[in-house]
């Protein structure tokens, strides 16, 4: 289905997108960050927080490390403001990079089991499918953020993978 190299490229893409996003968010008035925009997670910061929370949760499933705590309803407030969000986002992206650097193709042929608080039970799915979902979920919510930033009259990140800078 996918390879470890695919996961490494997607992790690089995710980190690049989040660095751009951080710059766009920093340029916004703080009131614009927290304004309820009718999105599923309310505001720009609420959506960015949910995305951070979900990334942290999924990488904890992949690497066995600490989870973010709370559930989906609490995900919107994992960070109180941008000053708290930015370093936490960077730490999470570094953790994702560490995980994919150690990922081997063989792991992608197995299964992943975790406890789903939403379902209240253990869930087992193909590992590769979970990895694809992880990166797809990021793209989905960054699309929402792009729309909200555009509506706020702010600059939104360039999201086309083909424009991602080459590694130094």
Binding residues, by number, are 50, 137, 141
What are the respective helix, strand and coil percentages of the chain, to the nearest 5? 65, 10, 30
What is the rounded distance in angstroms from the CA atom of residue 3 to the CA atom of residue 105?
5
Distance of alpha carbon 153 from the chain centroid: 23
Question: Binding site for a divalent metal cation, residues?
Answer: 50, 137, 141
Distance of alpha carbon 64 from the chain centroid: 17
Cβ burial, residue 128 (10 Å; 0-12/13-18/19+): buried
């Amino acid at each position: 289905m996918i390879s470890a190299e695919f996961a490494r490229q997607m992790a690089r893409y995710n980190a690049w997108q989040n660095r751009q996003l951080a710059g766009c968010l920093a340029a916004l008035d703080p009131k614009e960050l927290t304004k309820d925009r009718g999105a599923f997670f309310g505001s720009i910061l609420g959506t960015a927080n949910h995305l951070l929370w979900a990334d942290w949760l999924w990488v904890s499933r992949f690497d066995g490390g600490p989870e973010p705590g709370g559930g989906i309803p609490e995900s919107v407030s994992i960070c109180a403001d941008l000053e708290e969000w930015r370093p936490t986002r960077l730490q999470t992206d570094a953790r994702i990079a560490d995980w994919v650097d150690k990922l081997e193709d063989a792991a992608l042929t197995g299964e992943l089991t975790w406890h789903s608080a939403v379902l209240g039970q253990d869930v087992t799915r193909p590992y590769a499918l979970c990895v694809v979902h992880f990166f797809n979920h990021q793209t989905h919510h960054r699309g929402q953020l792009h729309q909200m930033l555009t509506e706020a009259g702010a600059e939104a990140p360039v999201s086309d993978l083909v424009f991602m800078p080459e590694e130094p």
